[in-house]
Amino acid sequence: MNQVILMGRLTRDPEQRTTPSGKTVVSFGIAVDRGGQDDQADFFNVTAWEKLGDLVVQYLSRGRRVLVQGRLRYDSWDDKETGKKQSRVEVVATDVTFLDGPNDNSGGSGTPAKPAKANKEEVVAEIDDKPIDLSEIPF
């Protein structure tokens, strides 16, 4: 089974290109916090194809938080200039969940946006003070 799930922040804006066969592919990088006391992260290259890639380009930018699900792909090739064998591992995304809301201002800064503060009067005005009829509850 080849499945990977990563949560992190984009390290660069997504880059879209088109293959000779006409398919679109988007490349981006994510930094995943290791979760220890040290501020260490692992960096992964991710590709997203066609419609998924189109959504990534449209809605994501550097610094945005994402959850990427996909599979690992190993590529190897001979470098034409040096003749040496090169290789890399990348994540081929099958699903990308945008963890920041559409109005978050965290894109590009790499820091989380501050939550919006609600005015106390606005919250009180929204509370419905009608008594609850327990017979309307379905369970």
Total of domains in the chain: 1
Q: What percent of the chain has pLDDT over 70?
A: 72
Q: Is 66 within the bounds of a domain?
A: yes
Split at pLDDT 50, 70, 90, the class of 39 is confident
Domain that holds residue 111: 4-129
Q: Is 112 within the bounds of a domain?
A: yes
At 119 the pLDDT is 46
Whole-angstrom Cα distance, residue 136 to residue 130?
Answer: 13
The model's pTM is: 0.69
Q: Is 11 within the bounds of a domain?
A: yes
- In tens, the pLDDT along 12-33 reads 999 999 999 999 999 999 999 9
Split at pLDDT 50, 70, 90, the class of 38 is confident
At 110 the pLDDT is 41
Q: Is 139 within the bounds of a domain?
A: no
52 burial (CB, 10 Å; 0-12 / 13-18 / 19+) is: middle
Return contacts of 72-81, CB within 8 angstroms, 24+ apart.
72/2, 72/4
